[in-house]
Structure 1
Amino acid sequence: MDPYPSDVPRSANEDAIEAKAFIDLYQAARQRLPGEEQFDCISIHGGCAISLPRAPAIGLNRILGVGVPEDLDEAYAWMSNKAGNRFLQINMDAASDELRHWIEAKGLRAYGPGWAKLRRDASAGSLPPSGDVKTRKVRRDEAELFGAMMCAGFGFPENLAALWSSIVRRDGWSCFFALDGEIPVGTGAMFASGSFAWLGGGTTVPSFRNRGAQKALIHARLQEGAVQGVSNIVVETEAPSPEKVNISNANLAKMGFVHCYNRSNFIL
């Protein structure tokens, strides 16, 4: 049985806002990272290709939101000249036969469990309780701390902290700390454009995990989205499976997010 509701519409908008967030992240950080990091990104008809070879995350080394073979040819050629691991993310349930043939012709193979895309109405009136953990926005003078915490949480090299500190107080972005008293113990970010917002950057220091920090950060960003007047908020997690507990996915479901579709990861 399909565990997800069959009446949830699929839309390129969910990928488009995510791609726009990463394009803006690139624009914010490209001058702050040294040239040897080879940070690069291109926009392709509502999607993007992004490369930061020393970042271990798929999210910074992938083709996203590109589903037409001629656009994929452009993205694939661009990505082929980049170092490090490189990936293509595709919603295969919505893929055309032409797109499937393109993937087969390139000899691409699926990698890992894929990602689940979730969406929630941004209405603040239907928000569940936030829990006991307090949150607040990151101040401009805390940008370096925010960046360092993000790197630590995602296992990035410390000298990539400027990647994340660059979005603090930047137009379109809202950055939050979860607090233990007055001490930051978790991070979360939101990028908003038009009627959509995207959530990312959710990390918690190891000693404070499983104590409600991420639930509080999700709540804070949902409230912020409602204040900014967006209609839909989207986010991704690893695709859930019966074999592996997915705490992030469960937390988001409790906060009212519903499954839209899964994206397969193909290694290039």
Structure 2
Amino acid sequence: MDRSPASRPAVPEEDIIEAKAFIDLFMIAPQTLVDQTGFACMQLGTGCAISLPSAPAIGLNRILGIAALDDLDTAYEWMSKRVGRRYLQMSAAITPQQKGDWIREHGLLAEGNGWAKLRRAAPRTPLTHAGEVITRQVNGDEADTFGSMMCAGFGFPTNLIPLWSAIVGKDGWTCFFAELEGRPIATGAMYASGGYAWLGGGATVPEFRNRGAQKALIAARLNEGAVQGVRTFVVETAQPSAGEPNISHANLIAHGFEQIYTRMNYRFPDGS
């Protein structure tokens, strides 16, 4: 099995910017939260292994942006010492036979339909949004409100509020509220670096869903990113299926995003 540097597979730029965002999220996390939750992250090349056991989301308990087998071995060994549900994420399009063999040898099993990865270029002219919802950037003194809304929207425990509050106002990050009659009802975040931007943090207060908040937040981030010099935007959401339509996926397609690949979630065996 050839593992020479010349044969090392390339990681998609769309995964690299996402990994950068989560590495930065770890770097700016309050030390008290890191100590209390066991939050940890290891950077490997353009990717990372990240672990926050108290977070129920795959996004904070996974290996991402790693394709070389040597790096996968290192990440797997590190992640195996962690607890909770852990995953390896890899694009189905860049999983050749040797990667498939590696995944089977380590007992990882595909779970669910995977995540759809989407991309679009920056808008040439500002996008408009019709409707009663308006958007604005989050002010520094509203960081706790932003973090609280994100945790509530994603079902995270309240002790993780400081994690999401910490990104407000930090270099590379731009955070938004969607408001209805002056009340924040939804959140959205953008991390930009090197001409790319990753969109995340889209959460809506349950009683205000289906009011157009996330559509407005997509447009707001595209417009702001274009002002900041972003050339390419990327985002991921659950892969839709015939029996399970995905509103988030539909909203992104309606805003000019194109699905470029599906990334599978391979779960670590219990007890590893």
Tell me the TM-score normalized by structure 1: 0.94
- The aligned amino acid for 1:182 is G
Aligned twin of 2:7: none
Q: Which residue of 1 aligns with 2:95?
A: 95
Q: Which structure 1 residue ranges, 4+ long, deviate > 3 Å from structure 2?
A: none
Which whole-Å CA distance do the structure 1 matches of 2:85 and 2:265 have between them? 12
8 Å Cα contact 1:137/1:174 also seen in 2: yes
Taking the TM superposition and a 5 Å limit, the aligned residue runs for 1:161-176 are: 161-176=161-176
**2:130 counterpart of 1:131:** yes
Give the distance between the partners of 1:137 and 1:32, measured in 2 at CA. 27
Give the superposition deviation at 1:124: 3.9
Cα deviations by residue, 1:1-20 (Å, 9 ceiling, x for unpaired): xxxxxxxxx96100000000
Contact 2:200 2:235 survives alignment (8 Å): yes
Does residue 152 of structure 1 match 2:142?
A: no
Q: Which residue number corresponds to residue 209 of structure 1?
A: 209
Structure 1 stretch displaced more, 130-139 or 14-23: 130-139
Identity of aligned residues (%): 57
Amino acid at match of 2:50: I
Secondary structure, counterpart of 1:55 in structure 2: coil
How big is each residue's C-alpha offset from its partner over 1:205-233, in whole Å with a ceiling of 9 and x where there is no partner?
A: 01110010000000000001100011100
Which deviations, in whole Å up to 9, do the C-alpha atoms of 1:134-173 show, x marking residues without a partner? 0000000000000000000000011110010000000000
Equivalent residue for 2:231? Answer: 231
Point out the more displaced range, 129-138 or 82-91.
129-138
Structure 1 unaligned regions, length at least 5: 1-9
SS in structure 2 at match of 1:233: strand
Corresponding residue of 1:18: 18
Separation in 2, partners of 1:214, 1:131: 12
Q: Distance in 2 between matches of 1:266 and 1:210?
A: 31
Q: In the aligned structure 2, how far is the partner of 1:250 from the partner of 1:46? A: 30
Instruction: For residue 177 of structure 1, give the secondary structure of its aligned residue in structure 2.
Output: strand
Mapped to 2, the partners of 1:30 and 1:80 lie a distance apart of 25
Counterpart CA distance in 2 for 1:221 and 1:166 is 19
Give the secondary-structure state (helix, strand or coil) at the position aligned to 1:234: strand
Distance 1:34 1:234, change over 3 A: closer
Displacement of 1:182 after TM fit?
1.2
Aligned-partner residue type, residue 199 of structure 2: L
Aligned: 1:36 with 2:36: yes
RMSD: 1.3
Which residue is 1:50 aligned to?
50
**TM-score, L = length of structure 2:** 0.92
